[in-house]
Amino acid sequence: MFKRQVAVIIFYDEKKRILLQNRAGISKFGEEWGFFGGGVEGDETPNEALVREIKEELDYQLKDHSFLKEVHYITNEFDIKLYIFISPLKDKLNKFSQKEGKGMKLYSLEKAKKLKMMPTDYPLLELLKDVL
């Protein structure tokens, strides 16, 4: 069983689209798209892990974000504690310099549901309907 604590961020625009990372070449479980973020390491807090991951993935110093929710998923394959953060894109997109993945793209929630993502990501898309 894969067990991990993960901090992710959902960047969204004024049209309620979310920014997803093309994970081709870096996928660990076959997913093609996912949220930016990654594993909490050592004695990091989820917020510290998120800030570090965004610096590594997008070469961006994350500041204006807020904690949305903690979700714990347990299946036969995964035991994942997911810390979900959210941030409006505003003028960030042109400041991002992607260092991991094959690209990024904005998707409506409906289109994102049709993408190949981690099983733990799909419930987040439902949660976002009430948040965005």
Total H helices, total E strands in the chain:
3, 7
Cα separation, 61 vs 53, whole angstroms: 10
- Output the pTM of the full model: 0.92
| pLDDT classification of 125: cutoffs 50, 70, 90 | very high
Residue type at 28?
K
pLDDT tens, 4-52? 999 999 999 999 999 999 998 887 778 899 999 999 999 999 999 999 9
What is the structure's pLDDT at 75? 82
Q: Please say whether the structural domain 2-131 has been given the CATH code 3.90.79.10.
A: yes
User: pLDDT of 61-120, one tens digit each?
Assistant: 999 999 999 999 888 877 989 999 999 999 899 999 999 889 999 999 999 999 999 888
Nearest 10 degrees: Cα torsion 105, 102, 28, 113: 20
Q: Do β-strands 33-34 and 18-22 pair in parallel, antiparallel, or remain unpaired?
A: antiparallel
